[in-house]
Amino acid sequence: MPAITPSLWFDDDLEDALAFYTAVFPNSSVERVDRYTDAGPGAPGDVLAAYFTLDGQPFIGINGGPAFRFTEAVSFTVHCRDQADVDHYWERLVDGGEESACGWLKDRYGLSWQIVPDRLVELTADPDPARAGAATKAMLGMRKIVIAELEEAVAAV
């Protein structure tokens, strides 16, 4: 099968984003950074594009200028084993960005992330509609997902 690699358009801060993201995610690296030459259109030495990996997932990034911005129409989901993972990714990725609802946030570059504990998926898919509904209702009132609060909501049913 052909590989699918997300390509991310940054204004002019790709190099900073590479350092940020590879520090947040384990098993991450920058494979190649392409820089402008005298041929332009950017200043010689400025970053044009980069090939990088975040926790095993390959990405391409470009410094394309201000023409396009990230929106919530595209987001990346971080699947978390437990609350410690949720807390780690939430705190790191929201730093300089902004919280949203239901486990969503925007990072400092405007990229949207969903920080999702596996337990949330299990509880909202519970075969008992009352339990699934209680978990969903609890999630809808949260910004960062707190597993203990989901468990409490389900236990109250």
Domain ranges of the chain: 1-68, 70-157
Evaluate whether 104 touches 113 at the Cβ level (below 8 Å). yes
**pLDDT confidence of residue 108:** 98
Kindly state the tokens that stand for 41: 């259109």
Determine the Cα–Cα distance for residues 105 and 117; give it in Å rounded to an integer. 14
Evaluate whether 5 touches 60 at the Cβ level (below 8 Å). yes
The CATH code of the domain at 70-157 is 3.10.180.10
* Overall pTM surpassing 0.85 (yes/no): yes
* pLDDT one-digit tens code per residue, 79-124: 999 999 999 999 999 999 999 999 999 999 999 999 999 999 999 9
Class of domain 1-68: alpha beta
Kindly state the tokens that stand for 81: 């084993």
Determine the Cα–Cα distance for residues 66 and 12; give it in Å rounded to an integer. 8
Q: Which residues of the chain have pLDDT under 70?
A: 1
**pLDDT confidence of residue 1:** 64
- Supply φ then ψ for residue 92, to 5 degrees: -70, -45
